[in-house]
Amino acid sequence: MYKGKAKNQEGLCPSRTLPTGGMIPPDPPPSIEGVRGGSSPPAAGGLFLLIFLLILWEALSRLALLPPDAVPPVSVIGEELWGLIISGELVGQAGLTIGRALAGFGVGGVGGVALGFACGVFPGFGRAMRMTVEFLRPMPSVALIPIGILFLGLGFGLCVAVAGFACAWPAYVAAVAGAATAGPELRDTARVYGLRRWESIVFVLAPAALPQIMAGLRTGLAVAVAVVVTTEMAAAPNGLGSFILEASMAGRPGRMYAGIVAVGLVGAGLNAVFVALRRRALAWMPEAGQR
Amino acid sequence: MLTIEGLTKSYSQNGSPATCALGGVSFSVPKGAFVSLVGPSGCGKSTLLQCVCGLMRPTAGRVTLAGREISAPPPEMALIFQNAAASLFPWFTILGNIRFVLRRAPGSKAQKLETARSALAAVGLADFAEHYPWQLSGGMQQRAALARGLAYGAEILLLDEPFASVDAQTREDLEDLLAGVARQQGKTVLFVTHDIDEAVYLADTVVALTPPPAKVAAILPIDLPHPRDQIASREDRRFLDARKAIHALLRRV
Ligand SMILES: Nc1ncnc2c1ncn2[C@@H]1O[C@H](COP(=O)(O)OP(=O)(O)OP(=O)(O)O)[C@@H](O)[C@H]1O
Ligand SMILES: [Mg+2]
């Protein structure tokens, strides 16, 4: 008796009653991936602008309106970049940087999410932690490098520790907020249907928190790359940060810019991978999967 | 037997004055009975259901089930929330929502899937099993929440205005579905509605509440034969009398 009617209600455009306002993650920070949903005009416009700026750079440098020693023409940087990629030198350095950034992100992301979620779910624990966290959180991660050197020396361990510290905080903040996302009806529904406390936490509070956690982790990933490069400049014998600084000191701006471009590519690439993973994890959400 | 004795609930907020929602409500729901609860908006019907279900501690009074006081949601009760949309798990499909609450139910996986599917078919959502809640209209979300509550198989059903946002025709179908399930499976039902006709049509007993702080204004037995019929029952002398009495009552208080 219902079939026909149910069909009618489907319509062409199912109504999108979002369960709670809190489910929608905050808008991701603007990034170079362009406008989501692939609307072509803005993306094409962005490409033209980029090409125009590169040509302008080339011209200014060739005309010596920019100091060629500090700003070589784009074509020179391009050649240098290509040569460094072919020789494998830059790839090796980028590999080191990526490994350190991912390790730091893994440690800091997991730690930040676990701490933040626990603080959000258990208010007593959250209150107990607050003072300590609010003291540590604003600490510039770079200030930890000297301490880290004493314990970890130069290189991998140091980079992982400093980047992990830095990227834990965005993850922490997102997880604290995320733990409060499930509304009272959802929590009560879990109780009515006999879920135990731990089951509510794992099967209700955690998935409800996931969109916000993902947004926080995405910020954390970008932070991890930036902090690893910074740490490499200050205290590592290799990696992109060290490569860039050495090139600069040696008076080889072409190499230096090639390294900087590589950092940009690494950041953008990791971000793209993360966004794709997030899209899969949040396929149930109208924002991430269904548009 | 579900007994509600002197139930009082006042919401106290820091600073602002306390709202007294329930001012000593007492009545009982015999095993297997269908009781409708009517009352003006804001009189505390949702509050009452949440206290009955053990989700909320009353300020005074108590609720007992077969002599034992309820302090946490008992396994033999299911509450279908007024705000159905907010009570569906958004990361599960409609079918997934039902299967999730059946996790610990006895029976094989296949049997439980069958239970879930037939509950969805009963509320007319068979074709929407794999849809996520946000892909459904408000009325469809209500039906999905109803299907989940029915599939759960609780002996006692607490329903909070479950048909508030469906069209008249669907509403009649759902009323008959609920009445049929309740009778066949001998369920005890406490049904909140603001629709007097619906209250009378479904119930063995109608409990009317006063404006807040709510007290019981009247308890009316409905003396209509089962099974009821949307046309015949609603034209019955006894239906019309009960309806008139409740109207008068709610207007007066
Ligand atoms: N969480 C709350 N905090 C404070 N006051 C509340 C809360 N929930 C309900 N109230 C108050 O309690 C009273 C009864 O609310 P309740 O939701 O139980 O009414 P209701 O009879 O279900 O109304 P309706 O028919 O509109 O659903 C209202 O005055 C409301 O303001
Ligand atoms: Mg209500």
Q: Is the CB of B45 under 6 A from ligand 1?
A: yes
Q: What is the pLDDT of residue A104?
A: 97
pLDDT for A273 beyond 90? yes
Domain residues for the domain of B17 are: 1-76+188-253
Range of the domain at A135: 80-289
Whether residue B213 has its Cβ less than 6 Å from ligand 1: no
Q: What is the mean pLDDT of residues B185-201?
A: 94
pLDDT value at A38 more than 80: no
Residue B248 lies inside a defined structural domain of this protein: yes
Residue A274 alpha carbon to ligand 1 centre in Å: 44
Average pLDDT over residues B152-163: 94
pLDDT for the residue A29:
43
For chain A, what is the mean pLDDT? Answer: 86
Q: How many CB pairs under 8 A join A and B?
A: 99
Over range B61-71, report the average pLDDT: 94
**What's the confidence (pLDDT) of residue A12?**
39
- Check CB contact of B70 with chain A, cutoff 8 Å: no
Strand ordering across the sheet containing B60-65: B19-29, B2-11, B60-65, B68-69
**Confidence label for A290 from pLDDT (cuts 50, 70 and 90):** very low
Whether residue A151 lies inside any domain: the answer is yes
For residue A219, is it within any domain? Answer: yes
User: Does B86 touch chain A if contact means CB atoms closer than 8 Å?
Assistant: yes
pLDDT of B134 reads 93
Residue A289 in this model has a pLDDT that exceeds 60: no
The percentage of residues in chain B with a pLDDT greater than 90, rounded to a whole number, is: 79
pLDDT at A6 over 80: no
Q: Strand, coil or helix: what is B25?
A: strand
Structure tokens belonging to residue A56: 């302008």
In a domain, B87, yes or no: no
Q: Provide mean pLDDT across the span A244-263.
A: 94
Whether pLDDT at A85 is above 50: yes
**Higher-pLDDT residue of A290, B215:** B215
Question: pTM to 2 decimals?
Answer: 0.84
To the nearest 10 degrees (0 to 180), the angle between helices A40-62 and A74-87 is 100
Minimal Cβ distance to B75: which of A18, A185, A194:
A194
Give me the pLDDT at residue B164, please: 87
Mean per-residue pLDDT, B7-23? 85
Q: Say whether pLDDT at B217 is over 80.
A: yes
From residue B42, how far is each of B13, B48, B53 by CA, in Å?
17, 11, 19
Residue A257 has a pLDDT of: 95
Give burial (CB, 10 Å; 0-12/13-18/19+) of A24: middle
Instruction: Tell which one of B16, B36, B37, B45 to mutate to probe ligand 1, the residue whose CB is within 8 A of the most ligand atoms.
Output: B45
Ligand 2 mean position, distance from CA B160 (Å): 7
Q: Do A9 and B101 touch (CB under 8 A)?
A: no
Q: Is the CB of B19 under 6 A from ligand 1?
A: yes
Atom of ligand 1 nearest to the CA of B9: 12
Residues of A in contact with B134 (CB under 8 A): 16-19, 286
What ipTM was assigned to the predicted interfaces of this complex?
A: 0.92
pLDDT, position A41:
58
Q: Does A11 have pLDDT greater than 60?
A: no
CATH classification at residue B235: 3.40.50.300
- Which of B89, B94, B103, B171 is best to mutate for the A interface (most A CBs within 10 A)? B89
Q: Whose CA is nearest to atom 3 of ligand 1?
A: B11
Task: Give mean pLDDT, residues B82-100.
Answer: 95
Are B22 and B214 in contact, with CB atoms under 8 Å apart?
yes
Write the pLDDT tens digit of every residue in A213-234. 999 999 999 999 999 999 999 9
Give residue B251's pLDDT band: very low, low, confident or very high (50, 70, 90): confident
Q: Which two tokens stand for residue A180?
A: 């409060």
pLDDT computed for residue A40 by the predictor: 52
Closest Cα to atom 28 of ligand 1: B42
Contacts of A185 in chain B (CB under 8 A): 81, 83, 86-87
DSSP one-letter string for B105-129 = SSS-HHHHHHHHHHHHHHTT-GGGT
Instruction: Write out pLDDT tens, residues B162-171.
Output: 998 889 999 9
For the ranges A46-50, A84-88, B147-151, the lowest mean pLDDT is seen at A46-50
Let me know if residue A42 belongs to a domain: no
* Percent of the residues in chain A that have a pLDDT greater than 70, as a whole number: 84
- What's the rounded Cα separation, in Å, for the pair A53 and A57? 6
Does the pLDDT at position A14 exceed 50? Answer: no
Cα–Cα separations (whole angstroms), residue B30 to A4, B15, B20, B77, B177: 38, 41, 27, 14, 21
Q: Is residue A67 assigned to a domain? A: no
Cross-chain residue pair B55–A192, CB shorter than 8 Å: yes
Contact status of A260 with chain B (Cβ, < 8 Å): no
Asked if A5 is an interface residue toward chain B (Cβ–Cβ < 8 A), one would say yes
Q: Report yes or no on A234 lying in a domain.
A: yes
Interchain pair B126, A6: CB under 8 A: yes
Residues 6 or more apart whose Cβ sits within 8 Å of residue B91:
A207, A208, A210, A284, A285
Asked whether residue A25 is domain-assigned, the answer is no
Q: Is the pLDDT of residue B66 over 60?
A: yes
The CATH number of the domain where A112 resides is what? 1.10.3720.10
Is residue B126 predicted with pLDDT exceeding 90? Answer: yes
The structural domain count of chain A equals 1
Residue B216 has pLDDT above 90, yes or no: yes
Which residues crowd ion ligand 2, with CB under 5 Å?
B 46, 82
Contact B98, B119 (CB under 8 A): yes
> pLDDT tens, A169-191?
999 999 999 999 999 999 999 99
Q: Is the pLDDT of residue A150 over 50?
A: yes
pLDDT score at A287 = 64
Q: Give yes or no for B48 touching A (CB within 8 A).
A: no
Predicted confidence at residue B212, as pLDDT, reads 82
Of A7, A19, A192, the CB nearest to B90: A19
B42 CA distance to ligand 2 middle (Å): 7
What are the tokens at B73?
Answer: 């949601």
Banded pLDDT at B253 (limits 50, 70, 90): low
Residue A149 one-letter amino acid: I
Specify if B42 maps to a domain: yes
- The structural domain count of chain B equals 1
Section A97-117 average pLDDT: 97
Please determine, for residue B14, whether its predicted confidence score (pLDDT) is greater than 80.
Answer: no
